Amino acid sequence: MDDNISSTNTNDISVELLEGVHAITEALRAGRPLDKLYVSKDAKNLRGLLQEAKRAQVVVIERERANLDGMSATGKHQGVIASVAARRYADLDEIIANAKQSERPALIVCCDGIDDGRNLGAICRTAEAAGAHGVVVTKRRSASLSVWTDRAAAGALEHLPLARVSNLTTALKTLKDNGLWIYGADADGNVDGLDADFSGACALVLGSEESGLSRLVREQCDFIVSLPMLGKIGSLNVSAAAAVLLYTAVKTRR
């Protein structure tokens, strides 16, 4: 690969760059092939990362910080950028099979039109930390894998399968056929999310930042949960709401 990195669009989105210490360290630990590691000459506190890169026999190239600034999509590269092999989406059936083989009840997060890559990455980060078996997004009206998603996920996508489906309603029917209860999250839900019973196999469906759950998706939900809003604002950011509900599930399952 040439030192000047270009992006390539394919049906399975290829993330050409990873930016930041956490994302790149987790990629190395997960065994994801890295092509080159670009490091700013004035970067500090990279000793652990560089040791990981050496063990993986990754080519390390020093660059002036201005050069990395020009390569960076986020502007927050922390002095290190990696060019990486393509990442492929998982299949929904693969996520279901892995969940069935797990010692824990299935926990799958579904995103209904989350179109901000940073929100999607933050949701994936919390989902992985909370022990979810996978995340499902739609091909349309949804953020795709990107450098922003990877950075917000902080390495979670190296360990968490993400599936992309054509029709979320059909995917939810498949999950129900496999024994999962479907919990939709919406501001006008009739079940308090803090009291919801997430102890069994379930999927948590998160609506879009602007319009919430779509009508057809909502109709597939067994329960609609919401969070109490005791202040003056009417709702939480979708990734913040996801974090509260996912850790409510963790507490229920403990």
Give me the domains of the chain, ranges plus CATH numbers: 17-84 (3.30.1330.30), 92-253 (3.40.1280.10)
Q: What is the mean pLDDT of residues 207-233?
A: 91
pLDDT digits (tens, 9 = 90+) for 99-141: 999 999 999 999 998 988 889 999 999 999 999 999 999 988 7
| Token duo for residue 33 | 């092939």
Report which of 201, 156, 126 is spatially closest to residue 23, judged by C-alpha positions: 156
Confidence (pLDDT) at 43: 80
Confidence (pLDDT) at 17: 82
pLDDT digits (tens, 9 = 90+) for 24-48: 888 888 778 788 899 998 888 888 8
Whether the CB-CB separation of 168 and 136 falls below 8 Å is answered with yes
Confidence of residue 198 (pLDDT cuts 50, 70, 90): very high
- In the numeric block, the tokens 């469906």 are attached to 205
Confidence (pLDDT) at 205: 98
pLDDT digits (tens, 9 = 90+) for 43-88: 888 888 888 888 888 889 898 889 888 888 888 888 999 888 667 7
Instruction: Write the DSSP string, the chain.
Output: --SS------SS----EEESHHHHHHHHHTT--EEEEEEETT--S-HHHHHHHHHTT-EEEEE-HHHHHHH-SSS--TTEEEEE----PBPHHHHHHHHHHSSSPPEEEEEES---HHHHHHHHHHHHHTT-SEEEEESSSSPPP-HHHHHHHTTGGGTS-EEEES-HHHHHHHHHHTT-EEEEE-TT-SEETTT----SSEEEEEEBTTTBS-HHHHHH-SEEEE----SSS----HHHHHHHHHHHHHHHH-
Report which of 111, 105, 215 is spatially closest to residue 171, judged by C-alpha positions: 111
Those residues whose C-beta lies under 8 Å from the C-beta of residue 170, and which sit 6 or more positions away, are: none
The DSSP bridge pattern shows strands 134-138 and 107-112 to be parallel
Report which of 178, 192, 167, 153 is spatially closest to residue 112, judged by C-alpha positions: 167
Confidence (pLDDT) at 86: 63
Gap between the Cα atoms of 240 and 194, Å rounded: 14
* Beta-ladder partners of 38: 61, 81
- In the numeric block, the tokens 């949701």 are attached to 123
The DSSP bridge pattern shows strands 202-207 and 107-112 to be parallel
Among 37-41, 175-179, 218-222, whose mean pLDDT is lowest?
37-41
